Amino acid sequence: MTKMKWTGLILGLIGFIMPLIVTFPGLSLAGHFAMSIFLMAAVFWMFETIPIYSTSILVIFFQVILLSAEGFITYSGADYTPLPFSRFIATLADPIIILFLGGFVLADASVKYDFDKSMTRLLLSPFGSQSKFIILGLMLVTAVLSAFMSNTATTAMMITVILPIIARMEPGDPARIGIALSIPFAANIGGIATPIGTPPNAVVIAALNQQGVDVAFSSWMMYALPLAVVMLFVAWLVLLRLYPPAVKNVTLNLSGKLKTSRNAVILYVTFGLTVLLWVTEGLHGIRSSIVALMPVAVLTLTSAFDKQDIRKLPWEVLWLIAGGIALGISMKETGLAEWMVGAISWDQFGYLMLLSVFGIVALIMSNFLSNTVTASLLIPLAISLVTSGLLDGVAGMLMLGLVIALGSSFAMVLPISTPPNAIAVSTGMIQTKHMISAGLIIGLIGLVLILLLSVIYWPFII
């Protein structure tokens, strides 16, 4: 174990034990246990003492033992009625998890039948051969794909597209850096566009659902898609400005054929139909998580997606999200979240100030931590701010949730900020310093735009 992990282990244990020894006035017994779990999880997630998904599993495990009606602690006071243990483990089948499962099956099946590559060829063809439009095209394709597939897999696929392009460019051409940066940035930005684009969206939406606030697939897109589009252009302009292409034209060599096997065609149709039903949720009202079962059913019953493929799904990401959802439940139900936000006198903050604080904290935190972890740690606090009456009801809650989800996705300063960033730096085409300067500019503009939307756009459509 590295020094970092040891530090995390020791701090995590201290964090876990402290609330068991110290009594905090105004906090229930259950709140103390919830705090133990929260502190341990926060430290383990930050130091990655154990893999982040194991921390999530540990959260659920301790909740069942310490906070459930079937657990080892008998609660008699009136301040906490223990939840059934099934409530904690049911987070693994939360509607948003099922939505993600559907998304994962579609994404993995797309990779299996090279649908992602075929889409890339199709979508890139209208962008001609001028360098700057090729870069725009690459970014648009990346963003579109990453709105429905994992940002990481999309980046990896697009790297296979750009490496040959970069290899044909002059060694000194600044656009090499620009192109290598454009892919992870576009993937991070594209992830915000839909609920299934990236895991932090799931954590936020699940937390809102717990409060009785339903977020339809199409509503989320209405809130976030315009921002994604604008940010994509902003990122494009920033990269062109920082790394202007030295030559006017680049050649794009898009070879490959659309697969036409029976299974591939089944996938294309299922993919198209699912996405269509998702984005039109507002019209027909069928919940996106119910729609998500359709591709799972169709692709497995036709064997387009078989047992091996099911085993290869990124199950640990679902655990990670479930742990985040579960953490929110225990913090809210035990009164811990309310107690924590009660420690700061928020009423001195204006409404915009409050959104800014959460936006800035989310942006900073997720540059160093996993985006999902950032959202998991912040959303319970944000929700209690609203439920304790400090912010205005449903709209306030939704906007705070959006600020957290979008803010954590706009963190792209360092290679460790997101897996797409890590992949891009690993190509050796860019150095960390390139990422820092461009990522900082884009992150800050993103934050300002998020706050702007919370004043001039969201209040009018929520």
Contacting residues toward another protein, per CB under 8 A: 52, 108, 111, 116, 150-153, 156-157, 159-160, 163-164, 191, 198-199, 312-314, 316-317, 320, 370-373, 418-419, 422-423, 426-428
**Residue 151 beta carbon to another protein: minimum distance, rounded to whole angstroms:** 5
Burial string for 123-149 (b: 16+ CB within 10 Å, else e) reads bbeebeeebbebbbbbbbbbbbbbbbb
Which C-beta is closer to another protein: that of 74 or that of 308? 308
Q: Give the residue with the Cβ less far from another protein, 158 or 277.
A: 158
Shortest gap between Cβ of 21 and another protein (angstroms)?
A: 33
Nearest CB to another protein, comparing residues 315 and 351: 315
Q: Alpha helix locations (H) across 243-349?
A: 262-279, 281-284, 288-291, 293-301, 307-312, 315-333, 336-342
Nearer to another protein by C-beta: 320 or 331? 320
- Beta carbon nearer to another protein, 290 or 414: 414
Q: How far is the CB of 407 from another protein (least distance, A)?
A: 16
Q: CB nearer to another protein: give 150 or 330.
A: 150
C-alpha 354/C-alpha 366 separation (Å) is: 18
Contact 146, 139 (CB under 8 A): no
Burial environment of residue 417 by CB neighbours within 10 A (0 to 12, 13 to 18, 19 or more): buried
Q: What are the start-end ranges of the H helices in 149-287?
A: 151-168, 175-190, 199-210, 217-242, 262-279, 281-284
Instruction: State both tokens at 441.
Output: 């500019």
Q: How far is the CB of 429 from another protein (least distance, A)?
A: 8
Closer residue to another protein, CB minimum distance, 249 or 426: 426
CB of 235 to another protein, least distance (A): 19
3-state helix, strand, coil in the chain (%, to 5): 75, 0, 25
Q: Enumerate helices (H) and strands (E) in the chain, giving the number of each.
A: 24, 0
Q: Which two tokens stand for residue 376?
A: 């998991």
**CB of residue 240 to another protein, shortest distance in Å:** 24
Give the shortest CB-352-to-another protein separation in angstroms.
30
Whole-number Å distance between alpha carbons of 141 and 444 = 24
Nearer to another protein, 94 or 116 (CB): 116
Q: What is the DSSP string of 67-91?
A: HBTTSS----SSS--PBPHHHHHGG
Supply the minimum distance, in Å, between the C-beta of residue 419 and another protein.
5
| Residue 158, C-beta contacts closer than 8 angstroms, at least 6 positions apart | 120, 138, 141, 142, 145, 183, 187
